[in-house]
Amino acid sequence: MTAAALISASPRRLALHRLLRHGSFWFGGGAILLILLLALVGPLFTHDPVAQNLGGRLVPPVWDVRGGWAHPLGTDQLGRDLLARLVDGARVSLFIGIATVLVSGLIGTAMGMAAGYFGGRVDLFINFLITIRLTLPVVLVALVVVAVVGSSLTVLVVVIGLLLWDRFAVVTRSATQRLAHSDFVIAARAIGSSTPRILLIEILPNIIGPLIVVATVEVAHAVLLEAALSFLGLGVKPPLASWGLMVAESKNQLLFRPWLIAIPGVALVTLVLAINLLGDALRDVVAPEGRA
Amino acid sequence: MTALIALEDLRITIPTAQGRVLQPVRGIDLSVARGETLAIVGESGCGKSLTALSLMGLVPSPGRVSAKRLTFSGQSLIDLREAEWRELRGPRLAMIFQDPMTSLDPCYTIGSQMTEVMRTHLRIGRQEARERAVSLLARVGIPSPAARLEQYPHQLSGGLRQRVMIAMALSCDPDLIIADEPTTALDVTTQAQILGLLARLQDETGIGIILITHDLGVVATMAHRVAVMYAGQVVETGDTAAVLTAPAHPYTEGLLQAIPTPGRTARGALLGSIPGIVPPPTGAVEACLFTERCPYARPVCAVPVPLVPLPGERAMRCMRPLDERAGEPGYAALSEVMS
Amino acid sequence: MSAQAALSIVGATRDYAVSLHGERRTLRALRGIDLEVGHGEVVAIVGESGCGKTTLSRLMLGIEAPTSGTVTVAGKPISSYHRIERAGLIQPVFQDPYSSLNPRQTLGTIIAAPLAVRGEGNARSRQAAAEEMMQAVGLPPHLVNAYPSQISGGQRQRVAIARALIVQPRILICDEPTSALDVSVQSQIINLIGALQKKFRLTVLLISHNLAVVYHMAERVAVMYLGMVVETAPTEQLFANPRHPYTRSLLDAVLPPTPGRRPTWSEAIAEPPNPVDPPSGCPFHPRCPRASDICRSAMPEPTRGADSMFRCHHPLESMA
């Protein structure tokens, strides 16, 4: 309590201060920034990712004696530049990751807040929905829907978004429940605040921390799911590039030209790891009591 | 009167992550005799709870305790090892906390928690420990004590839980009980019962009690002597009746004027109030720590103030004796300015 | 009198569904409350934890509806007001200023929130109103952009009071406004509420277990026990000559900071009964030194005096 009396910085500045001293934040955030930069400005400097060159097929990367700087990461079985496809794939991965989380975050947060604030029957019903959602095998449902409706980026975003809201709902529900009976919410009701105002202005800013943490986990989750679906041929359609698709297209080259699989694989691992590290750092800062 | 526990110049320092050093306790002298109740009174952040924890060897890391002298029945407690502290805690020194719900383990019955302590420290058998637990619960006024042994903490009311805590504190016949705000979480009627219980047990056993509280009403009812703490120092100490009827230190005077008291303060009249806040526990003590909030402060107060003995085994830490301050306006003037 | 009462509660009850060992039971938190508070009056409601004080305050704020009975504010049932109208009539101040202020909002936003809810003025005029209010409650206006975590407990309680008063309500409900504060700060808040009450002619309901504070501030006291008002009387009269044995035991438990009195030790555990399973007859009989057979079987009817009331079969003697 003596320590608390000494703190005079605003809560936001304190959180920022803790974040900036966190190693995982610098590592994860730095890697994500790098990938984001590559995805945004990379296409200006690389070859056309869909231009085929059957004469220059399966050129190895620059570190191989047969490789050269014309294609730093080599070419694939259709002679397309691997670096250009990697950069293009990064755009797809990041787009899917961020867009699906916007969809699932909106659904899950709205449901969780309604359940936590109103309680009673609303809570029972939403809990029922959450339970149903948890019984659905995500990959299987996504496969079925994509197989029936056909695949496009929009379909992928909607399907994954509609499947990954459960963690948002659960976290939001318990956080809202805790706040719904706090004195400041009762005070807000006593000053005549409308229910939307209470939810959006009083409660939401107080649960945004854990939500950001969930969002990072779910971005990683969505990136992996897209890769898995594309690998199975039900995600992104060629000639559009996707890291999962790149692995799938080269799977019969596994023994002879391993770099074709290793390069998109390493990219995928790096992105997911970076997102998780950033999420860890954010969690330590916004919800240190939940540290496992 | 030989002291049961005596400490001289107790200091507690806590290094912070930012590289500063907090000094929540800055040089305290205290002593308690057998059969005596000493109240340590002060507001939050004055260091009273840390002082109590240091007497139990429980100051949390990275806090550091140092003292010129810290003896318990003649044995020095300075630099005791954890194993040696464990020999003392329970059998010789016991502690009662503010919230009995957090100091009782919710997963175990009252009975198993009580008997475990006794079997460890008294080396007695299960049956004997059980019988002792029943008689202890009866002694603290708990009805049908045998049935209570099978209950879990959450099945008892706050008042009953605090009685169980007292029974556990007494279970190994300690010489000294440290009670940290033992009744703050309780209703007034229950508070009176618990305080009455402690007083009766003291009369029966001659146990020494250190009572940590912020409530001068509790002090008046329970304590033989009182030490008023402010910003990590004792600013006034002496016989309770003397201190409360004629406070010598301006801080004690301010506290007493701030409490509405039927028969002493007029109904609806402005109460005295102490302006400002407690100074942060950092840096060297270069002046009286109360200066900024004191209506009697003068240039003479800008020196580290020693604890000055007064007649009648009292002492206070103020540069301006009572007779010198007489006639100055004091707190009443301040509260009018503020409102 | 009821025509000009600021607040009147008639026969209010409030039930909650609870589950006790997996069994559905009804917890009757309020069991028929009658209370009338005049304009500009300061009335204290005292009682132990669990007696229904906080439930009563929520009914008065209109945040919860009574199961039966009515709560009338300024001549109309509280439920008939629009929430914004209601907010302009009656406002709360809570016990714990740490939890009653949104940690993510600045003091200016918190204090001006009632104006924002009404859509009054623009951001700048609301900020100005907040600063004016801060001055009125003794807060330095430069704190307008500070967060609750940056100020002391006493200052937070001043913020809560400023928020309650910015829409100039007629009634202030103070639920233990000082019990979470340090002694030296308590007196400042007591002085402040007293001064504001006089200045704005506020009707104040002071909910407290601290009888010394009640004695200092209130003109009239209502003593609650297990969801009922068991005694009401003008403060001086209640303290000098309580009629209900429960009031007597509350007064006996007060520990004034004047030396020389040890509490009377009673071997009997005297704790409030479980409201899910209330005792028959008079709810106080299990703890009452005067209880007889009739107390165990029949609920005592109110005995009314000029401006007082008590419910007891065996009241303490009147000294008047």
Q: B250 — phi, psi (to 5°)?
A: -55, -35
Q: How confident is the model at residue B133 (pLDDT cuts 50, 70, 90)?
A: very high
Q: Residue C220: beta bridge partners?
A: C43, C234
Q: Of all helices (H) and strands (E), which one includes residue C165?
A: helix C153-165
- Average pLDDT of the segment spanning B69-91: 87
When mean pLDDT is compared across A240-249, B111-120, C161-170, C281-290, the lowest value belongs to: A240-249
In Å, what is the CA distance from C134 to each residue of A2, A14, A280, C110, C157?
26, 26, 40, 11, 11
Residue among B254, B276, B267 nearest C194 (CA): B267
Q: How confident is the model at residue C149 (pLDDT cuts 50, 70, 90)?
A: confident
- Average pLDDT of the segment spanning C152-181: 92
In Å, what is the CA distance from C281 to each residue of B118, C226, C278, C300?
44, 12, 9, 8
- Average pLDDT of the segment spanning B142-147: 86
A11 CB neighbours in chain C (<8 A) are 103-104, 147, 149
- Average pLDDT of the segment spanning B192-221: 91
CB B115 within 8 A of CB B129: yes
pLDDT tens across A9-26, in order?
A: 666 677 777 777 777 888
In Å, what is the CA distance from B312 to each residue of B32, B234, B239, B309, C272?
17, 17, 8, 9, 44
CB B100 within 8 A of CB B164: yes
d(CA C161, CA C175): 12
* CB contact burial A125-140 (16+ within 10 A = b; e otherwise): ebeeebeebeeeebee
Which chain B residues in 170-189 lie under 8 Å from chain A, judged by CB atoms?
A: none
Q: Residue B32: beta bridge partners?
A: B5
Left (φ > 0), alpha (ψ -120 to 50) or beta: where does B107 sit?
A: alpha
- Average pLDDT of the segment spanning B1-13: 87
Structure tokens given for A67: 């490789």
Query: Residue B192 and residue C183: Cβ atoms within 8 Å?
Result: no
Residue C318 CB-density burial (10 A; 0-12 exposed, 13-18 middle, 19+ buried): exposed
d(CA B162, CA B169): 10
Which residues of chain A are under the pLDDT cut of 70? Answer: 1-12, 67, 287-292
Which amino acid belongs to residue B101? M
CA distance B280 to chain A (A): 7
CB B241 within 8 A of CB C259: yes
Q: In 3-state terms, chain A is what percent helix, strand and coil (to 5)?
A: 75, 0, 25
B219 CB neighbours in chain C (<8 A) are 257
d(CA A20, CA A14): 10
Which chain C residues in 190-219 lie under 8 Å from chain B, judged by CB atoms?
A: 190-192, 194-195, 209-213, 215-217
Query: Residue B45 and residue A6: Cβ atoms within 8 Å?
Result: no
Query: Residue C216 and residue B193: Cβ atoms within 8 Å?
Result: no
Q: Of all helices (H) and strands (E), which one includes residue C115?
A: helix C107-118
List, in sequence order, every beta strand (DSSP E) within C181-300. 203-208, 220-225, 228-234
**Largest pairwise CA distance in chain C:** 67
Query: Residue A5 and residue B24: Cβ atoms within 8 Å?
Result: no
| ipTM for the complex shown | 0.87
Q: How confident is the model at residue B337 (pLDDT cuts 50, 70, 90)?
A: very low
Query: Residue B22 and residue A2: Cβ atoms within 8 Å?
Result: yes
Residue B296 CB-density burial (10 A; 0-12 exposed, 13-18 middle, 19+ buried): buried
Query: Residue B280 and residue A1: Cβ atoms within 8 Å?
Result: no
d(CA B247, CA B30): 19
- Average pLDDT of the segment spanning B70-81: 88
CB A244 within 8 A of CB A236: yes
Residue of C86, C88, C92 lying closest to A187 (CB–CB): C92
* CB contact burial C120-142 (16+ within 10 A = b; e otherwise): eeeeeebbebbbebbebbbbeee
In Å, what is the CA distance from C151 to each residue of A224, A234, B276, C143?
46, 57, 12, 9
Say what the pLDDT of residue C69 is. Answer: 94
Which chain B residues in 182-221 lie under 8 Å from chain C, judged by CB atoms?
A: 187-193, 195-197, 199-200, 214-221
Query: Residue B159 and residue C269: Cβ atoms within 8 Å?
Result: yes
Between residues A6 and B266, the one the model is more confident about: B266
Say what the pLDDT of residue C50 is. Answer: 82
Say what the pLDDT of residue A4 is. Answer: 38
Which amino acid belongs to residue B185? A
Q: Is the pLDDT of residue B259 over 70?
A: yes
Q: How confident is the model at residue C263 (pLDDT cuts 50, 70, 90)?
A: low
Is the minimum CB–CB distance between B332 and chain C shorter than 8 Å? no
> How many Cα atoms are found within 13 Å in the side-chain-facing hemisphere of C149?
16
Which amino acid belongs to residue C129? A
Is the minimum CB–CB distance between B39 and chain A shorter than 8 Å? no
Residue among B122, B129, B60 nearest B87 (CA): B122
Say what the pLDDT of residue A29 is. Answer: 87
**What is the rounded (10 degree) CA torsion for A147, A149, A154, A159?**
-70
Q: In 3-state terms, chain C is what percent helix, strand and coil (to 5)?
A: 35, 25, 40
In Å, what is the CA distance from B241 to each residue of A240, B221, B254, B255?
88, 10, 17, 15
CB B211 within 8 A of CB B133: no
Say what the pLDDT of residue A291 is. Answer: 40
Contacting chains of A (3 CB pairs or more, <8 Å) are: B, C
Which chain B residues in 12-71 lie under 8 Å from chain C, judged by CB atoms?
A: 43-44
DSSP-derived secondary structure letter, A149: H
CB C308 within 8 A of CB C302: no
Q: How confident is the model at residue C30 (pLDDT cuts 50, 70, 90)?
A: very high
End-to-end, the C-alpha distance of chain A in Å comes to 25
* CB contact burial C191-205 (16+ within 10 A = b; e otherwise): bbbbbbbeeeebbbb
B19 CB neighbours in chain A (<8 A) are none
Say what the pLDDT of residue C262 is. Answer: 62
In Å, what is the CA distance from A115 to each residue of A118, A150, A175, B173, C208?
6, 34, 11, 53, 34
CA B112 to chain centre: 29
Q: How confident is the model at residue C82 (pLDDT cuts 50, 70, 90)?
A: very high
Which residue bears the tokens 């132990």?
Answer: C48
Left (φ > 0), alpha (ψ -120 to 50) or beta: where does B19 sit?
A: left
Query: Residue B16 and residue A3: Cβ atoms within 8 Å?
Result: yes
Structure tokens given for B67: 């003292």
Collapsing DSSP states into helix, strand and coil, what is residue A49? coil
d(CA A80, CA B236): 86
CB C260 within 8 A of CB C298: no
Which amino acid belongs to residue B192? A
When mean pLDDT is compared across A253-262, C106-115, C181-190, the lowest value belongs to: A253-262
